[in-house]
A and B are shown apart, each in its own frame.
Chain A
Amino acid sequence: ELKVEQNPLFLSMQEGKNYTIYCNYSTTSDRLYWYRQDPGKSLESLFVLLSNGAVKQEGRLMASLDTKARLSTLHITAAVHDLSATYFCAAGKPGSARQLTFGSGTQLTVLP
């Protein structure tokens, strides 16, 4: 059974600082997704990572995937208040990669 673990679950950081959210998954998966969720809202797709060593960047966010270590990271550079949200990673299920198993989420608060 595929399990996805994120850490930290809660993260408070100062504006301008850097930090990394980690996402570990338990069995082979060939795709990893990152989503953002604002309070009371649905999910916004951030990144889709499909191969070992994949790195994608959008603004202050950069995601990477290491399939050998079964690890994905979401790196935040010079955080700003607008990045405050809950971030989820999700891995595709083995044999049915489009069915996703989600991590527990990281609630990020960027403080002024």
Chain B
Amino acid sequence: SQQGEEDPQALSIQEGENATMNCSYKTSINNLQWYRQNSGRGLVHLILIRSNEREKHSGRLRVTLDTSKKSSSLLITASRAADTASYFCATDGRKLIFGQGTELSVKP
């Protein structure tokens, strides 16, 4: 069973716009991680936020975590065509439990 659920399932924006993806999960966590996957390839780790953190930044990425609502969001600012990929949230522990992902398309 999958713990995380990303929303929306698909998002299409123009280059330069911001993209926001949301993730909801079911059980308590130690951390939440976001990954990116380009078509048919492996996953690239983007950012990890611990359960005692509320917000974290990494370059053009901003992640928030609300443990009371069991939700997280990933914001990509000033998007580029190269950001086109599927984005997954995954909750912690010895095994990652992934959602189905948000498919982001950034049009030049």
Does B associate with A? no
Interface residues of B (CB under 8 A from A): none
Interface residues of A (CB under 8 A from B): none
